[in-house]
Amino acid sequence: MIGNVIAATTYTAPPPISVQYVVIAGGGAGGARVGGGGGAGGYLTNTVVLSLNTNYSLKVGAGGAAVSSSSGGSAGNVGATSIFASVTATGGGGGGAYTGKNPTTGGSGGGGQGYNAQAGAAGTSGQGNTGGNGAASGGSGGGGGSSAVGANAVLESGGAGGAGTTNPITSTTLAGGGGGAANAAGTAGAGTNGGGAGAKGTNTPATSGTANTGGGGGGVRDEADTGGFMSGAGGSGFVILKYPDTRTATFSGGVTQTTASAGGYKTSQITAAGVSDTVSFA
C-alpha cells in the first residue's frame, strides 16, 4: 500500500515596508536675564525599511520649560528627544543668560550670553546649528536652527534665531531658533520657523516656540533681577511618517495622530508631546 504523501509547505515572510520620516525633537527654552534664544530641536529625515506586524517605538519630545529671571538669571532648559524606531532626534539646547550662565547643549546650539560675547553651544552633528554670540553691550545671540546658525547680537539688539528646514513630506518649514533678548534701546531678536521672539527691555515677556515645530524659545531680559519675567519655552517636536496607502499604521493608543491619504501614500502626523507609544504596519 502506498501511503498518503503530504506536500511540504514553504513559509513566505511578508515583504517589508518603506517608510519616509521626519523626526524633530523639542526646542530648547530661551535664557533668562539678558537671555539668548533657545536652539531648535534636532531634525532628522530619511527613509527606513521596516518589517510588517512589528511594533516600533514612537515619541514626540516636549519643549524645554521656561526659566525665571530671578537670582542672576538661568540658562534655558534643553528640549526632549523625539523617537521613531531606531531614529532619535536630540532636543534643542537652551539659551545662555547673564555672566556665568552658559548655553546648554542639545540638538541645536542655544543663544549666546549677553555682555560677554559668550559663544553659543555647538549643536549635535547633523541635527542642528550653533547659536549666535552675545554682545558686550547688552544684546544676546539667537538660537541655532536646523539649517542655519543663530545670528550674533549687535550692540543692544538681540540676534535672530537660525532658519529652519522645509521638510519633504508636508513642505512646511520647521525647527527654527528662538531670538535673543535686547535692551530698551535695541531690537529684540526674531524667532524663525516656529521659534519664539526674544524680549525687549525689562517689562516684556519672551515668546515661546510654537507647538509641534521644534522651535526654540525667545530669551528674556530683566536687569532688575526681580524674577517676574519668564523666558520663552521651547516648542514641542513632531514626527511625520509617509508610507504606501495599501498599508495601515496601527498606534497603540497613547499618542495624538492624524492620518490622511493622497497620491498613493498615507501620511501620519504625530503631535502628542511626552507620550511613549508604538506603531506597527500591516
The per-residue pLDDT of the chain, averaged, comes to: 86
**Model pLDDT, residue 101:** 58
pLDDT in tens, 95-133: 887 765 556 555 555 655 544 444 455 555 568 888 888
Across the range 231-235, mean pLDDT stands at 96
Residues in the chain: 282
Q: How confident is the model at residue 91 (pLDDT cuts 50, 70, 90)?
A: very high
pLDDT in tens, 195-206: 999 999 876 889
pLDDT in tens, 15-36: 789 999 999 999 999 988 888 8
Strand partners of residue 244: 265
Across the range 240-248, mean pLDDT stands at 97
pLDDT of residue 225 exceeding 90, the answer is: no
**Model pLDDT, residue 155:** 84
d(CA 277, CA 273): 11
Q: What are the extents of the domains in the chain?
A: 15-282
pLDDT of residue 208 exceeding 80, the answer is: yes
Q: How confident is the model at residue 238 (pLDDT cuts 50, 70, 90)?
A: very high
Which residues 6+ apart lie within 8 Å of 89 measured at CB? 23, 24, 25, 41, 42, 43, 44, 61, 81, 82, 83, 107, 127, 237
**Model pLDDT, residue 272:** 87
